[in-house]
């Protein structure tokens, strides 16, 4: 019985986001800039 139960796949286990996703987010954050000029907000991406 133990074996049968252990075969049930876990569908809602704990997982972690992939390191490349985190790296992408950090790169996005570094490149994303917001500037305000005369009450107008400008978004820009720095390479």
Partner 1 sequence: MELQIEDSVLVKQYIGGKEKALETLINRHNQKIISFIYSKVLDRDVAEDIFQDTFIKVIKTLKRGSYSEEGKFLPWVMRIAHNLIIDHFRKNKRMPKFEGSEDFNIFSVIKDDKLNVEKQMIKNQIDSDLTYLIDELPDDQREVLIMRIYKDMSFKEIAENTDVSINTALGRMRYALINLRKIVERNNIVLTN
Q: Which residues bind partner 1 (CB under 8 A)?
A: 11-18, 21-22, 24-26, 28-30, 32-34, 41, 43
> Which C-beta is closer to partner 1: that of 1 or that of 19?
19
Residue written as token pair 């000029």: 37
Q: Which is nearer to partner 1, 1 or 35 (CB)?
A: 35
DSSP string, 3-36: HHHHHSPPSS------HHHHHHHHHHHHHEEEEE
Q: Select 1 or 34, whichever has its Cβ closest to partner 1.
A: 34
């Amino acid at each position: 019985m133990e074996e049968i139960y252990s075969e049930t796949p876990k569908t809602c286990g704990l997982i972690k986001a992939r390191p490349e996703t985190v790296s992408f987010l950090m790169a996005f954050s570094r490149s994303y800039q917001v500037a305000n000029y005369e009450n107008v907000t400008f978004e820009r991406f720095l390479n």
